[in-house]
Structure 1
Amino acid sequence: MRVVYDTAGRTPVRAEFQYVEGSSSDQRAENLPVVQPLTFPLGTGQVELSVRSGQDRDLSWLNRRPTDSQDPGVTARFHSGLPERALFVSRPDDEGLVHVGIHNGTSEQISLRPNTGEQFTHGEYEVSLRYTVGTTEPNVEVVIASKPEPLNRSILQLDSVHTGITVGSWVAIQRPAKGAQGGIPGDAKLAFVTTQVVAARTAAYTNYGITGRGTELTLAAPWLDEFDVLLSHVRDTTVHAAGEPLRLADEPLGEDVHGNEVELAELYDGLRPGRTLIVSGERSDVPGTTGVQATEVVTIAAADPAVDPQLPGDHVHTRLTLTADLAHRYRRETVRILGNVVEATHGESREEAIGSGDSDRVNQTFALWQSPLTWLADDNPLGATPVLEIRVDGVLWHEVDSLAGRGPGERVYITGSTADGRTTVTFGDGISGARLPSGHENIRAPYRFGTGKAANVAADRITQPLTRPLGVTQVTNPRPAKGGADADGPGLTRRTIPLAVSALDRLVSASDYEDFARSRAGIGRAAARELFDGRRRVLHVTVAGTDDVPIDGDSDTLRALRGALTEYGDLNLPVRVDVRELVLLLVAAKVKVARDHAWEVVEPRLRQALLRRLGYEGRELGRPARLSDVLATAHSVPGVDYVDVDVFTGVPASAMPEELTGILTDPGPPKASVAAHPATYDEKVHTVRVANGETLSEICAKYGVPLAELLRLNPDITDTRRLAKGRSVFVFRGIRPAQLALLSPRAADTLILTEVK
């Protein structure tokens, strides 16, 4: 029975009845008050409903037929197939209490406070009371339920089918606290039960007048007690199931990645000593600066499984030992290590027949079908080797510089080129080198073609493999591709051919080293000079790539050059090779166009002339750039009346941040010349001039020097506190390579030409 009050929660306005047995249900609702006792059928019996005065607290009247009254207290009597009970529900008294009485010879009176409940046994029935306020319909609910047959208290019937719950898995059963259930008695230990599933099946069951299919779990421990007999007792139960085991999170490491040991998060197979890796990330060794990315190639010295028993939760992982320390320090969360690393060079592979041999002919010559032929860096005097094999009837023949002096049986050939750039192969005449044997297309050439500056692409630009071996899903180039150069043109060939014969592959003087380096493939400029490096005398060679293409200090071109200088030079003379230091010229000028000439025609001509004169083609290492060169070049262009140069200066790559900021902010009047120093030993010293001193980090940020490098240059600094005023600190000490001052067409806004109207 449910008695509903008005919105003020004072007067009963409706009585609702529901009878449930098995899967059948019968409901009835009557508006209150009733004029006289009302009798109506419900389920298998009858209900007699009446109202009476709620002022009489003596419940002995329940044994008698209630009298009619206009002061509503609701009385209901159940007969004939229903539990023989008389129920009384009063209106709230002055203290807000509702009094509920139940009688069948034995009387029970319960006083309920708002939003509380009560549960007890009355004879052979379970009685549950609930007084609810704070809603649109304040009400009192009285449930009389027959005691069910004893249940297996370890059986848990879920409301629907859950296939993810398996035998042996854990479930957590959470029920509202006793206070939330209105003080209903029960075992407090069953408010939260954690146990395992012994059995699980999909079942169809009928409970509480509801039928349906769901998952029935048999638990290892009970989750019900003898008081859990009504749907309301278990309706608010929450079951947490189908969980997954979770490992505690590792404690984050804040230390930067540096040195020659790197600990990986997991255990990785296949990492063997000698394998090449690529380490990239954001540098943390540049104070005051963030976002500086770096990438370097390292080699594994050892890869061992490791686990720290003193570290809680540690698991087996891989510890890498590198052959050398990392060049930089990296922020740990940004570090990425690539393990599937292979060396790649530009060029497409091809194997094809290039002709047929004829033993009656001498000095047969054939041309490759594809061009240009790919050349790779080598430590021979030429500096490069073509990727070409010549096989005649499956036998390998060898390339030589000249057929002169070769025997009649030597399987050799020489290479040349045609006017359109195709590579030719020429064989002997039977006296100087062997003739070709006769055969049909018996001369085959596996080779590669494709070369030049077009291959110098930025990092992460190579993403489309021509073939996909099993397991390869993606490719990329973490580092920029550098060192590619076009074939020597006629002008460069005229300059390098005399240099190749000047030293005759025997390096004695500094000029021999310079000529030898300059004549090699991929090297466009070279300057050699004997210097003191701080410990001893060395021969320093500064080089620049052809057309000033970028060259890394560890590139194949420089490795091959260093090997060749060691092989063909003086073993007792230490030689050091560095890449040039760029001095980028900045030019801004106003140009007056002569009468009857158009700016649209004159400006491109003047720009090209300045790039030829002050660009790579007209510059040498260690040679200063002069303002007179700009003026002379401009006046040699037809259509230029006069030139007014506003800016003529240079930005060296070694400029410190403060110096660079000053140049770009206020370049000043045009300089008569922009210096380009030859290779020299340099020491740059910073003197502390701040009254309260400076820290090492502040000095590093000012000059852009890593802290580790600053400590290496100043081994006498052992105190990391502020340096006192007047203290001198080395910020650079070593050899600076020769400078190359030039205008670069790749640098925007370095040559600005404005027309004078």
Structure 2
Amino acid sequence: TEAGALLDTPLLRLAALPARVTLAARPAAVAPGPSRLALLEDTRGAGTAVKATARHDSGEVTLDGPAGTTLTPPLRLLWDLFPVSRGATVPAELLGLGDATLPGQDFTLAGKPVTYLAGGSRSGEGYSSTVELTVDGIRWQEVPMFHGRGPAERVFVTREDEAGFTHVLTGDGVCGARPHTGAVITATYRVGAGAAVPPAGTLTQILTPVDNLSAVRNPVPPGGGADADPADRVRTEAPGSVLTFGRAVSGDDYQVVAARAPGVSRATAAWSWDPAQQRAMVRVFVGDDDAAVASARAALRAACDPNLPLTVLPAVRRPVSLRLGLRLDPDRVAEQVVARVRDALLAAPGGLFAPNVLGLGEAVYRSRVEACCLLPGVLAV
């Protein structure tokens, strides 16, 4: 007696993304043709970002995503994506009144840190603040600098001080207009920044109702955020930013431009060979998330020769183990000495092996490790 057709045993886990999937029905809002960004979500709520291309004649979709992704079937392909960014809005904060007798008025925003977003160049090369300035109800435009601006242009500049507060500066009447006396000056902006991000699956609440939006979720963690640059990083990268003049020519230029991109904490560049075009090329490696890789790629596309091949890749983590033998002063408390040595090696922000201290691929010599360990109470390493 025929009982039916045998079915393949369902997979319990996918160790790699499928190259193609077939949808039960193509969503009406998805047009076939060029690839578009989508999210692939598994039964646990975890997922990954993919480039999806729908075919014209069927429900088949071609997927292109990162290697090494492990998902648990069944899978759901999410097309209806919208971008989100960090920050709480501070509406119409009163900064003060205009005074036409003062060149270059300086107003300090009460909230900090102000949210900056990648893209555009209102505040600097490749990034823009969220500050919107109005003078007597007229919106002024943010620019990176006053140089080259006319005396009647309604522009302003933002700057950060050492305490993290944002200053809004107006023109002096020569480069940039002065606000007229008695003008009410207000600013709307957003606050909130940092590299820390909420895990996947935690963005589920809609604070303000939106028409036709019933639920939200994030199968992948957000990325692209960055903490404020510490003073030592500013000292290291500031000379390089002056030497590039916004253009990437040498390998060092590529590294500097990539490292200064929003959301990038570490980057390195290495010369390589392009077998297809039979010429030298630069490969750039970024030691952060996918959003940082995209940010570095966008910054380099704007700075390098468009006729040259551009390769920006995420750096691959390599586990390393280090075993140390310490000869301690017998008059010291051993546990306290060992704890100080461990902090010198691992504790943020200054530990030798703390996050973002070493450069990508940077060699670490024994003498440098020993120098970190030779603290009071350590006789030999």
1:276 Cα deviation (Å)?
5.0
1:360 match: 101
Q: How does 1:563-712 map to 2 (within 5 A)?
A: 563-611=298-346, 612-616=351-355, 618-635=357-374, 637-643=375-381
**1:509 to 2:262 alignment:** no
Q: Distance in 2 between matches of 1:430 and 1:348?
A: 33
- SS class of match (1:295): strand
User: Are the aligned partners of 2:99 and 2:182 in contact in 1 as well (CA < 8 Å)?
Assistant: yes
Relative to its length, the structure with more strand (as a share) is: 1
1:346 match: 86
1:409 match: 152
* Deviations 1:49-70 (CA, angstroms, capped at 9, x unpaired): xxxxxxxxxxxxxxxxxxxxxx
User: Are the aligned partners of 1:271 and 1:303 in contact in 2 as well (CA < 8 Å)?
Assistant: no
Runs of 4+ in 1 over 6 A off after TM superposition: 249-257, 328-332
User: Are the aligned partners of 1:279 and 1:296 in contact in 2 as well (CA < 8 Å)?
Assistant: yes
- SS class of match (2:322): strand
Among 447, 455, 480, the residue aligned to 2:221 = 480
- SS class of match (2:319): strand
2:188 match: 446
User: Are the aligned partners of 2:42 and 2:75 in contact in 1 as well (CA < 8 Å)?
Assistant: yes
**1:262 to 2:22 alignment:** yes
1:144 match: none
2:293 match: 558
User: Are the aligned partners of 1:415 and 1:426 in contact in 2 as well (CA < 8 Å)?
Assistant: yes
2:115 match: 374
Structure 1 regions of 5+ residues with no counterpart?
1-248, 283-290, 305-318, 644-757
Cα RMSD (Å): 3.4
**How many residues in Structure 1 have an aligned counterpart in Structure 2?**
360
1:279 Cα deviation (Å)?
1.5
Q: Distance in 1 between matches of 2:249 and 2:180?
A: 45
User: Are the aligned partners of 1:346 and 1:450 in contact in 2 as well (CA < 8 Å)?
Assistant: yes
User: Are the aligned partners of 1:392 and 1:444 in contact in 2 as well (CA < 8 Å)?
Assistant: yes
State the TM-score, normalized to the length of structure 2: 0.81
Amino acid at match of 2:22: V
1:533 Cα deviation (Å)?
4.1
Q: Distance in 2 between matches of 1:445 and 1:250?
A: 68
Q: How does 1:94-243 map to 2 (within 5 A)?
A: none
- SS class of match (1:571): coil
User: Are the aligned partners of 2:224 and 2:263 in contact in 1 as well (CA < 8 Å)?
Assistant: yes
* Deviations 1:73-95 (CA, angstroms, capped at 9, x unpaired): xxxxxxxxxxxxxxxxxxxxxxx
Higher relative contact order (CA 8 A, sep 6+): 2
State the TM-score, normalized to the length of structure 1: 0.43
* Deviations 1:612-633 (CA, angstroms, capped at 9, x unpaired): 2233454223322233332222
Among 286, 289, 305, the residue aligned to 1:544 = 286
1:345 Cα deviation (Å)?
1.8
Q: 1:331 to 1:602 in 2, by over 3 A?
A: closer
Q: 1:595 to 1:571 in 2, by over 3 A?
A: same
Amino acid at match of 2:78: L
1:452 Cα deviation (Å)?
0.5
1:280 match: 41
User: Are the aligned partners of 1:347 and 1:449 in contact in 2 as well (CA < 8 Å)?
Assistant: yes
Q: 1:363 to 1:267 in 2, by over 3 A?
A: closer
Q: Distance in 1 between matches of 2:53 and 2:182?
A: 50
1:431 match: 174
- SS class of match (1:498): helix
1:431 Cα deviation (Å)?
1.6
Amino acid at match of 2:50: V
* Deviations 1:579-607 (CA, angstroms, capped at 9, x unpaired): 22223331233434324322343233211
* Deviations 1:665-715 (CA, angstroms, capped at 9, x unpaired): xxxxxxxxxxxxxxxxxxxxxxxxxxxxxxxxxxxxxxxxxxxxxxxxxxx
Q: Distance in 1 between matches of 2:73 and 2:356?
A: 45
Q: 1:375 to 1:352 in 2, by over 3 A?
A: same
1:335 Cα deviation (Å)?
1.1
1:681 match: none
Q: 1:361 to 1:303 in 2, by over 3 A?
A: farther
Q: Distance in 1 between matches of 2:309 and 2:218?
A: 34
User: Are the aligned partners of 2:345 and 2:354 in contact in 1 as well (CA < 8 Å)?
Assistant: yes
Q: 1:448 to 1:560 in 2, by over 3 A?
A: same
1:6 match: none
**1:295 to 2:34 alignment:** no
Q: Distance in 1 between matches of 2:153 and 2:236?
A: 33
User: Are the aligned partners of 1:526 and 1:543 in contact in 2 as well (CA < 8 Å)?
Assistant: yes
Matched residues, percent identical? 30
Q: Distance in 2 between matches of 1:447 and 1:399?
A: 12
Q: Distance in 1 between matches of 2:246 and 2:267?
A: 16
- SS class of match (1:596): coil
Q: 1:254 to 1:527 in 2, by over 3 A?
A: same
1:371 Cα deviation (Å)?
0.8
Amino acid at match of 2:41: S
- SS class of match (1:614): coil
Q: 1:601 to 1:277 in 2, by over 3 A?
A: same
* Deviations 1:125-163 (CA, angstroms, capped at 9, x unpaired): xxxxxxxxxxxxxxxxxxxxxxxxxxxxxxxxxxxxxxx
Amino acid at match of 2:370: L
1:504 Cα deviation (Å)?
0.8
- Structure whose CA Rg is larger: 1
2:76 match: 336
Amino acid at match of 1:418: D
**1:390 to 2:133 alignment:** yes
User: Are the aligned partners of 1:378 and 1:385 in contact in 2 as well (CA < 8 Å)?
Assistant: yes
- SS class of match (1:563): helix
**1:463 to 2:204 alignment:** yes
Q: 1:267 to 1:540 in 2, by over 3 A?
A: closer
1:420 match: 163
Amino acid at match of 1:296: A
Q: Distance in 2 between matches of 1:634 and 1:506?
A: 41
* Deviations 1:627-646 (CA, angstroms, capped at 9, x unpaired): 333222211x1122333xxx
1:425 Cα deviation (Å)?
0.3
